[in-house]
Amino acid sequence: MRTLIIVLAVFGLSFNPAFAASADGEKAYDLLFQEGVLDSIARDKELVYQRMVTNGLKPETAARDTGDIALSFTDDGSEMAHLEFRQDDKHRAMGVFPASVGNPMIMVFYESTIRDMAETAGGSPFYIRNRVKDALVQPAEVVAGQAVFDGKTVPVQIIRMRPFENDPNKDRMQGFGDLVLSVTVSEQVPGWYLRLVAETDPENGSDVIYRSEMQFEGVQEGRE
C-alpha cells in the first residue's frame, strides 16, 4: 500500500509558504510518479497540455518549444500512450510509453528542462540529469491547497524541488542554479498533473531567465 502524505490545507486560491510541509524522499517520489492515473481515461480520448516557454538567454528556443502536447492511446489493446508535440500545423511524435505505469508527462517535464538548461547554460546534460534524479529522492516541500480546474475549485498538492540549491557549481549555471521545479497534482484532474513548472528564481522579483510551464488543458476526442 502506498504511503499517504499529510499536509496542512491552504484555503483559497493562493498558497502560503507558512503552511508548507517537508516530505521525505519516498513520499514525494510517490506523489510525483503516481501509478494508474491513466486507467480511467477512455482510450478514444486524448489529454492535451499547453507548453509555454520563456528563455531570456535564447528566446529562439522558447518560440521553438511553445505549443501543445497531446497524449493519446493505441486502439490495438496494447495499452500504450503516445505523445505528440503540436505547433500550428506541425506535428512531431515524442515517444510511446506504457499507459499502465503512469502519465509520461512527468518525464517529458524533467527531460525537457534538462535539455533546455544544457542548451542554454552549457554544461553536461548527464551532470544536470544526475542532479535532478538525486533531487527526486530527497525530502521535498509539499503544499496542499486549492486551484480552479474546469470551472471548479479542486484540492491540489504542489511538490517543489530545488535540485541545484547546494550544488558547488551553482554560480556557473547562468541563473539556472536557482531553478525551482514545481508540480501540481490532484486526484480530480484527469491524468493527475494540473501544472508542471520549471523556473529560475521565481521569488527574487527580477526578470525570469527561464520558465517552462506545462498546463493541463483538458480531455478531447482523439484524432483518427
Domain-located, residue 8:
no
Where is average pLDDT lowest: 21-25, 37-41, 70-74, 209-213?
21-25
Domain-located, residue 23:
yes
| CATH number of domain containing 153 | 2.50.20
Q: What is the pLDDT of residue 138?
A: 87
Domain-located, residue 6:
no
pTM, to two decimals = 0.86
What does the pLDDT average to over 32-38?
Answer: 94
The total domain count for the chain is 1
Domain span at residue 185 reads 19-221
Domain-located, residue 12:
no
Domain-located, residue 154:
yes
Q: Tell me how crowded residue 131 is: count the other CB atoms within 10 A of its CB.
A: 17
Q: What is the pLDDT of residue 205?
A: 55
Question: In this model, does residue 132 exceed pLDDT 90?
Answer: yes
Instruction: Name the average pLDDT for the chain.
Output: 85
Which has the closest alpha carbon to 10: 151, 129, 184? 184
Q: Which H or E run contains 27?
A: helix 25-32
Domain-located, residue 193:
yes
Q: What is the pLDDT of residue 203?
A: 62
| CA–CA dist 203, 208 (Å, integer) | 10
What band does 201 get if pLDDT is binned at 50, 70 and 90?
Answer: confident
What band does 79 get if pLDDT is binned at 50, 70 and 90?
Answer: confident
Domain-located, residue 170:
yes
**pLDDT tens track for 143-200:** 999 999 999 999 999 999 999 999 999 989 999 999 999 999 999 999 999 999 999 9
Residue written as cell 503544499? 143
Cβ-count burial 6-29 (b if 16+ within 10 Å, e if not): ebeebeeeebeeeebeebeeebbb
Domain-located, residue 28:
yes
- How many residues make up the chain in this entry? 224
